[in-house]
Amino acid sequence: MNSQGDPEILEQERRLIAEILAGDPERFYELIAPIEKRVYFTAYEILQSSTEAEDVAQEAILKAFRGLATFRGDSKFSTWLFRITVNEARMRLRKNKEVSLELLVADDGETVYTPIQLADWREIPLETVVRKDLADHLENAIASLPLSYREVLILRDIDGINIVQTADILGITVANVKVRLLRARLMLRDYFVSENLIRASTTVGAKRK
């Protein structure tokens, strides 16, 4: 995997940024257009509030513009903007709820999270994602994850950012991203089981630990 991104794309971005800084600021829209929606939803999934998410998304984008001259261009612009967004959202979270830094520190130990054992799973059809009840359940499931797991899941499974870039954005190792991602995914799935949102038969007395 390559954390630097496609060299051609990086070069295009560098040229565009140079033109913006040389006096064509409106072209900044070209940089943010493909990612502004994901910036908003990254903030939203962290903060669970649309008003705050919009504030944070705006602040992050404005900060990126103001700091554009300091952007070194050795990673993709989007990676940099997502890092600013995550940091802004965390700051907001701490200010609001006085969330301590400890909550951001995940247990990245070797213990494997043991998911609820199921004998079958009736697939939740993709079409139902437009239904409000399922949409709400999905939101609640994501919100139920500890922040450090949620962040990894948002970047990787919602924003579609690769593991190396996710590590870069969060300032953690690739190994830690993988550990957190595994737990986040299993816990997310278990939310649906434990809230009885799916019709599936669980085994009585799991055979394996």
Which chain residues interact with other proteins by CB under 8 A? 23, 25-26, 28-29, 36-37, 40-41, 50, 54, 57-58, 61-62, 65-66, 112-115, 117-121, 123-124, 126, 129-130, 134-135, 138, 141-142, 153, 157-158, 160, 163, 178, 181-182, 185-186, 188-189, 192-193, 198, 200, 203, 208
Measured CA to CA in angstroms, residue 205 lies from 1, 28, 116, 190 at distances of 41, 58, 11, 16
| Cβ atoms of residues 169 and 154 within 8 Å | no
Cα 21 to Cα 43: distance, rounded to the nearest angstrom: 27
Q: How far apart are CB 104 and other proteins at their closest, in Å?
A: 21
Residue 103: how many CB atoms within 10 A of its CB?
13
By C-beta, is 7 or 23 nearer to other proteins?
23
Q: How far apart are CB 101 and other proteins at their closest, in Å?
A: 26
By C-beta, is 8 or 123 nearer to other proteins?
123
Q: How far apart are CB 53 and other proteins at their closest, in Å?
A: 8
Q: How far apart are CB 89 and other proteins at their closest, in Å?
A: 16
Q: How far apart are CB 144 and other proteins at their closest, in Å?
A: 13
Which residues have C-beta within 8 Å of that of residue 58, sequence separation ≥ 6? none
By C-beta, is 130 or 204 nearer to other proteins?
130
By C-beta, is 11 or 67 nearer to other proteins?
67
By C-beta, is 99 or 124 nearer to other proteins?
124
Measured CA to CA in angstroms, residue 45 lies from 90, 137, 192 at distances of 11, 13, 18
